[in-house]
Amino acid sequence: MELTVLGTSSALPTSERYQSAHVLNVHERFYLIDCGEGTQIQLRKNRIRFGRIDDIFISHLHGDHVFGIYGLLSSFNLMGRETPLRLYAPDGFERILNSHLDDFGIILNYPVEVYPLSGDGVKIIREDRYLDIFAFPLEHRVPTFGFLFREKPKDRLMIKECIDRFKIPVARIPAIKKGNDFITEDGKVIPNEELTCPAAPPLSYAYCSDTMYFSKLATYVKDVTLLYHESTYDASHIELAAVTGHSTARDAARTARDANVGKLLIGHFSSRYKNVDHLVEEARELFKESYPAEEGKCYKIGRQE
């Protein structure tokens, strides 16, 4: 599981920072999360092939998280895309998208399947053999959702020398990996714990874009390996954060601490900050494993950097 950060700025892009966009690679399946202005430029800079993206997740319908999608969809068309694109966005986005396509006379050569997000609580919105993907509500000025990407539990690992020792047929190995015991030809039961060892724990990534602090959020992202949480302001602007529906770095760290996450990435920085070191320091006062999201950096989730 690898994360590439494409944009770390909030409402205003700067000469150093693009608007919100992340790409998550899970077993060579690529997921684009938010699509601010300039996303496709960043995809090219980071050598992420457009055709590898089949799923796009939009947290909310503010421009700095969605304006880039119109150009990206057009580029897909110009490149001759034919495979379906799945798009997850707050309820109402399909009407906006269709209006844009009609206004500019764009006829897509590929189907766009729009899955509207609404309601409360954590809900699964997609799954495959490797991954479960969930959406959950955030607290912002418009309906906003976070996303949780969690690997499915892996099968146990076979201890190779046991295969010859107990003469285990190849056809029985898949069931043993899933936890079954093995019965030898003479009827002896070999416990699964003697035949296998635990696989690595499933990895997970949670993306929390624009939101003010609320205690329930920690329950939504409990124990994730890597949490990305917006940190638009430092503590001196806590009142502005409340008015605009955003978080301070301290708010992000508080959620990370209460959720017992492995590592925290902070981003969505206000353009007023040319340097964000003090935001990182503020977060580390509550949660030591806090780091700034860096554009163009690939984070290998679950491994030491």
64: annotated active-site residue? yes
pLDDT of residue 155: 84
Q: Identify residue 302 by its one-letter amino acid code.
A: G
**What domains sit in the chain, N to C, each tagged with a CATH number?**
2-154+200-300 (3.60.15.10), 157-197 (no CATH)
* Active-site residue, selected from the candidate residues 55, 64, 210, 234: 64
pLDDT of residue 304: 52
- The answer to whether 222 and 260 are in contact (CB under 8 A) is yes
Residue 98: its H or E element? helix 93-103
| pLDDT of 194 strictly over 50 | yes
Q: Provide the mean pLDDT of the chain.
A: 95
Residue 207: what are its φ and ψ, rounded to 5°?
-120, 115
Residue 150: what are its φ and ψ, rounded to 5°?
-125, 125
Q: Of 123-132, 193-202, 236-245, which gets the smallest average pLDDT?
A: 193-202
- The answer to whether 94 and 116 are in contact (CB under 8 A) is yes
Is this model's pTM higher than 0.85 or not? Answer: yes
Q: What is the rounded average pLDDT of the residues 165-169?
A: 89
106-159 pLDDT tens trace: 999 999 999 999 999 999 999 998 999 999 999 999 999 999 999 998 888 999
37-96 pLDDT tens trace: 999 999 999 999 999 999 999 999 999 999 999 999 999 999 999 999 999 999 999 999
